[in-house]
Chain A
């Protein structure tokens, strides 16, 4: 479970140092001109990894920490369901 702390550390320490340049796919999409095909999402919850009421890197860190917790919780729930059924059948 200490690994969860490592994930949080990555968000707090490394993510603020991340490159702001487009990634491989987006660079190719810009260079080859198909970036315009991007469609707006049908709904928005935390778009762009920025939470409201916070600015700058604090906003991205907060969004990243929310994501870490939600991804962890989702996988724990799915894992518990699969593992528990496994035990009952066994």
Chain B
């Protein structure tokens, strides 16, 4: 691509208007409730040595989300990063990191609406950091140990988190009354089943890279999550 050509970055997140005001506000209530718990938990357990890791993970997830990869038929996908954040930082610090990424994208780059920001944080962050991480824990114990099961468990949880986030968005669109669930859900699930493969690959690659270069980071997370 010549340097002068415009990339024409596509919007990454739902704009205002996709959900009705009551649905958007309802999602804000749910998200704020989770964020309050996340702040309290993080406040109790966050080790000062982990703070730069939080910052770096947030920066990486922001950057990686900008990389839209082609999936099928004129459609792209991009990393969400919730499972990645939770596996490396723990679910609560991971939730705060995801909320910060989505907030900066909406406030600074006008990517993702302000009213629907609660829904965006919930669908792309909370579902991955809390739901995805819970699934990751189950998968890791099924696979024996975290050391052995880390990468396949993270990949599977990442895929499920993307598909579940898409399903949640389809439900919110349906409750908004714009489009019937039986119309939206199959197409949202279909396209995100493919995008989820990209999420799984990037999540597995990032965790594999860190397991090789900085395995000590996982111990830091465990020390905090246990506290």
Contacts and interface: CB of A to CB of B under 8 A. Distances in A.
Interface of A: 1, 3-4, 6-8, 10-11, 14-29, 31-32, 34, 37-39, 41-50, 55-60, 63-64, 66-76, 78-80, 82-87
A49 B12 CA distance: 11
A86 to B, nearest CB: 6
B57 A23 contact: no
B113 A48 contact: no
Given A38-B16, A45-B107, A75-B55, 7 more contacts: A24-B77, A56-B4, A57-B1, A66-B108, A70-B104, A75-B57, A80-B48
Interface in B21-72: 39, 42-48, 50-60, 62-64, 66-71
Contacts of B47: 83
Contacts of B64: 7, 10
Contacts of A82: 39, 42-43, 46
A37 B18 CA distance: 6
B51 A76 contact: yes
Given A3-B60, A10-B63, A41 B104 contact: no
Residue from A8, A32, A68, A71 whose CB has the most chain B CB atoms within 10 Å: A71
Interface in B1-28: 1-18
Interface stretch (B126-134, B137-145, B148-156, B185-193): B185-193
Q: What size tier do the contact residues of chain B reach?
A: 35 or more
Given A3-B56, A67-B108, A8 B179 contact: no
Contact of B18 (A21, A34, A87): A34
B84 interface: no
Interface string B185-213: 00110011001000000000000000000
